[in-house]
Amino acid sequence: MRKYFITGLLILVPLAITLWVLNLIISTMDQSLLLLPEAWRPAHWLGHNIPGLGAILTLLIVFLTGLAARNFIGRRLVLLWEGLLTRIPVVKSIYSSVKQVSDTLFSPSGNAFRKAVLIQYPRQGSWTIAFLTGTPGGEVKNHLQGEFISVYVPTTPNPTSGFFLMLPRADAIELDMSVDAALKYIVSMGVVAPEMVTDKKIITDAAAPKN
């Protein structure tokens, strides 16, 4: 009896969580319908909401924005828009910081979250998985002696929160696993273990991102 119950949980719990996450994402994206005039909204001329239409509208807006920004006129408009935002005192600091992070994370040539590494944290002898995000720069770099790397240490089971650390490059061990596999290992609290690998190496200059 207990065996059957556990088997049922193993099947239904992942399905329920997946549906809950999808519902949360779609519900959030459906809020884009509020950008339309009330007379244009599906609820007005259909009499009820259709889940997912807002998600389609959101994806369409993102696609058209990217398409427009790829031509000369679109690039000029983006530069003008960014120039306007950088003239507003409070908005300037927020927008600039978010843009730098998004450019690093989503740029095809970016190095953020391209490598999973093993580090000792939060104390010596205690190990955890972190993600390579770059190397220290600016004023911070001037106060660090030797070769350092920047890493992000995600929390479990919510990897969207975590800690930013700068540590000696020799103290990090590059893992022969994909970022997706490392994330699954972290989110599952070590239950979903990645494939066994025997070849671990200290991060080399070639593997580390460039300034």
Per-residue model confidence as pLDDT tens digits over 23-81: 888 888 888 888 778 777 777 777 777 788 888 888 888 888 888 877 777 788 888 88
Sequence length of the chain is 211
Would you say residue 127 has pLDDT above 90?
Answer: yes
Q: Name the pLDDT band for 165 (thresholds 50, 70, 90).
A: very high
- Residues of the chain with pLDDT > 90, as a percent, come to 17
Report pLDDT digits (tens) over 184-195: 888 888 887 776
pLDDT at 209: 47
pTM of whole model > 0.85?
no
Tell me the C-alpha distance between 149 and 123, whole Å.
18
pLDDT at 153: 93
pLDDT at 105: 60
Q: Is the pLDDT higher at 145 or at 112?
A: 145
Region class of 101: left (phi > 0), else alpha (psi between -120 and 50), else beta: alpha
Q: Is the pLDDT higher at 146 or at 103?
A: 146
Q: Are 167 and 148 in contact (CB under 8 A)?
A: yes
Nearest to 164 by CA among 108, 90, 107, 101: 101
Sequence ranges of the domains in the chain: 2-106, 116-202
pLDDT at 72: 76
Give the distance between the most distant pair of CA atoms in the chain: 67
At residue 15, what is the residue type? L
Q: Are 30 and 53 in contact (CB under 8 A)?
A: yes
Mean pLDDT for the chain overall = 80
Would you say residue 10 has pLDDT above 90?
Answer: no
Contacts of 43 by beta carbon, 8 Å cutoff, 6+ apart: 33, 49
pLDDT at 211: 47
Tell me the C-alpha distance between 111 and 131, whole Å.
10
Tell me the C-alpha distance between 32 and 182, whole Å.
33
Output DSSP code: residue 181: H
Q: Residue 170 corresponds to which tokens in the numbers above?
A: 């020799």
Residue 130, beta-bridge partner list: 117
Report pLDDT digits (tens) over 171-188: 999 998 888 888 888 888
Tell me which H or E stretch contains 164.
strand 162-168
